[in-house]
Chains A and B, each alone.
Chain A
Amino acid sequence: MKLYEFEGKAILSKYGISVPKSTLYKAGEKISFKEAVVKAQTLSGGRGKAGLVKVCSKEEIDSIAKEMKSKQHNFELVSNILIEEKISAENEYYVVLTYDTDTRSAILALTLHGGVEVNKFASTVHKFQIFPNQVPDFAEIIRLSGIRHDHDEWKNFLSSAINCFFEEDCRLLEINPLALSNRKLIALDAMIDLEDEAFFRHQDRKYPPRQSGFGRAPTERELKVKEVNAKDYRGTIKYLELDGDIGFLAAGGGGSITCMDALTSVGGKPANFTEFSGNPSDEKVYELTKIILSKPLNGLWIVGAIANFTLMDTTMSGVIKALEEIKPKFPIVVRRSGPHEKEGLEILHKAKQDLQLDMTIHGAEMPMTKTAIIIKEKAEEFRHGNTHR
């Protein structure tokens, strides 16, 4: 779970890392700082360039904050504004703690060239492996990073940051910039991504749900799928609305992504991304299919890799139930394989006849990604037929 800056800074101060004095903006509230920084709270970066971070006098706070509140950033609504005391920095550094696939461990990385242009200084970043319950060689880190002064301050800061990173089960803890001001290190920004899988160790956490991680407000269909998913613990369904005309109903994480690659590479335009896995109930598959079919479509692609345990006959019945209600005219291409494949495909053939569907049915003999071009061409033909009628 990505945290907003103000939530991240609250965690940092819990571990003894200095942050500027601050308050969440409330209209008309008295601010004691002479000079303030007004910062819109968003999960995506690049706020400075979008005009969502502004330095001002305390008299200007109200008008600036009000203006920011009406804005969107990368399709994300600004809900909170952080008002901070302006810190004058002598130097700005960059520090990140994360997991790294090169060393297969947690790492601490830092550069003395922090700030908005840090990307230009990627070559100056020093990386150090760190381990839980193991004190790193701070003197060595400080020496190799080229830190000349304030060694005790740095040692305290690094020790707190490492502690925070492991104790809170962070996936990412990024501070940019880390300011040096009057010989003290102060975190002027904080980007923390908490690991969802470790929430069982942090039962006391109470963060409100995040906006959709897809860089825009969730659509009605996306919200509906979330609701359906939460109602029934069996299996997981995901749905992301896109603007194409081919309905996409795919099984399995890796399989869904592979199929999306295949469809988009032949120029097919998916109406949605979806994935169902973990043997969901018929009811769940039925609800998901109905939501996919609720958009105007020119085709439907029902696809998945060869399943290990998911029974083809039972999962297909959820899809058929939704098709019975809607009886679509557009072409449907199916490629499903796994246990009880023969029985599953028979159910589909029967439904094709009973409901008079334009359905092409494939089992294992047809490789999964080869059906991408079939649905793309059939959908195209159907679209043309419609425009010429």
Chain B
Amino acid sequence: MAILIDEKTRILVQGITGKEGQRAAKVMLEYGSKVVAGVTPGKGGGSIEGVPVFNSIKEALHLHPEINSTLIVVPPAFAKGAAFEAIENKIPLINMLTEGVPVKDAAEIVHACKKSHLRFVGPSSIGILSPGKCRLGVVGGEKEVIDKIYKQGNVGVISKSGGMTNETAWVVRQAGLGHSTVVGIGGDIITGSSFTDLLELFEHDPQTKGVVMFGELGGTYEDQVAEMLKRKKFTKPLAVFIAGMFAEKMPQGISFGHAGALIEGSRGLPSHKIKMLREAGALIASRHDELGEIIKGAL
């Protein structure tokens, strides 16, 4: 098993002719993922890394009806258009790597995916990896890195930070464990798949025996996990690290991120998230590298 992607995943890349799209296609193929088609409007006809390029998803689906997931790697201004094309064509899994997508666009995409019952991961996702089965996106980067860090196993990994996905998977590996599925959900305020959405899938995945998650300051996605644990909707061991404690100790009212509404109060602060999660029974790592040993001890 594993969640979201496996040997049966057939990938479409939207924006395959761009620099980032091309690199994503290359590293996915290198890992053995089945990338069957690419789309860039107006650039159909050619091929990238041996993958045929089409003008539209409709054209691609006509020749490759087996496509069941799409990776969106287009500039932010085109992200909403690309996502809606995928939604109209009912691609069941939409993974968006694009960073800097306006929040209004993200909210519209999330809403439309919900209505159509499609799975959306991102924006600002680093990708999804089920080791030994499939890589969607660029999680793990170069072959040298992905081969060293990731190994099939029974710990699920969810990370808001793309840059910390490798490191989080690595401390699990150093504890002698492997990974079921690794998901970069992105740190945007409006996200397609939150921690709880994925924990629900991990709960029902027999390969996954426990989960580690990397959270950050801001928003309430971590608070929702605490609620989920209290309601016993996730029952496997869960180890959590929340980044950004230092920002609370900064002098001079130094603020990270956007202005919050006056009425929000302490919501979004790492200390608040940690308190909620600890009370709900999650295992808290006060230093990031402790995540590995903590989950090992709980399995």
Contact = CB atoms under 8 A, between A and B. Distances in A.
Contact of B253 (A74, A98, A195, A369): A74
- Chain A interface size, as a band, is 35 or more
A305 B171 CA distance: 11
Given A197-B102, A368-B288, A132 B108 contact: yes
B258 A171 contact: yes
B181 to A, nearest CB: 18
Interface string A197-233: 1101100000000000111100000000000000000
Interface string A14-26: 0000000000000
Nearest to B163: A252
Interface string B107-145: 110110000000000000010000000000011111011
Contact of B220 (A2, A101, A201): A101
B167 A96 contact: no
A305 B167 contact: yes
B246 A308 contact: no
Contacts, number: 203
B259 A257 contact: no
A339 B246 CA distance: 30
A164 to B, nearest CB: 13
A102 to B, nearest CB: 6
Q: Give chain A's interface secondary structure class.
A: mixed
B144 A339 contact: yes
B142 A308 contact: yes
A252 B141 CA distance: 14
B216 A105 contact: no
Contacts of B262: 45, 94, 96, 118-119, 174, 176, 191
B231 interface: no
B63 interface: no
Contacts of A122: 263, 265
Given A308-B166, A309-B141, A197 B261 contact: no
Interface in B235-271: 241, 243-247, 249-250, 252-255, 258-263, 265
B156 interface: no
Nearest to A176: B262
Contact of A132 (B104, B159, B160, B292): B104
A79 interface: no
A101 B103 contact: no
A16 B241 CA distance: 46
B15 interface: no
B70 interface: no
A57 interface: no
B259 A193 contact: yes
B148 interface: yes
Interface stretch (B29-37, B185-193, B200-208): B185-193
Contact of A119 (B219, B265, B287): B265
Nearest to A367: B289
Nearest to A107: B261
A263 B166 CA distance: 20
Given A119-B265, A255-B163, A261-B243, A171 B259 contact: yes
A105 B107 contact: yes
B255 A367 contact: no
B92 interface: no
Contacts of B187: 253-254
A216 B216 CA distance: 25
11 contacts: A101-B190, A102-B224, A105-B107, A106-B104, A109-B263, A111-B263, A119-B265, A200-B76, A257-B243, A339-B145, A367-B170
Given A102-B220, A213-B255, 11 more contacts: A104-B190, A109-B263, A195-B102, A197-B101, A215-B253, A258-B161, A261-B243, A261-B244, A306-B166, A308-B145, A309-B138
Give the 7 A-B CB pairs with smallest separation, nearest first.
A254-B161, A308-B141, A252-B163, A367-B289, A305-B167, A198-B102, A306-B166
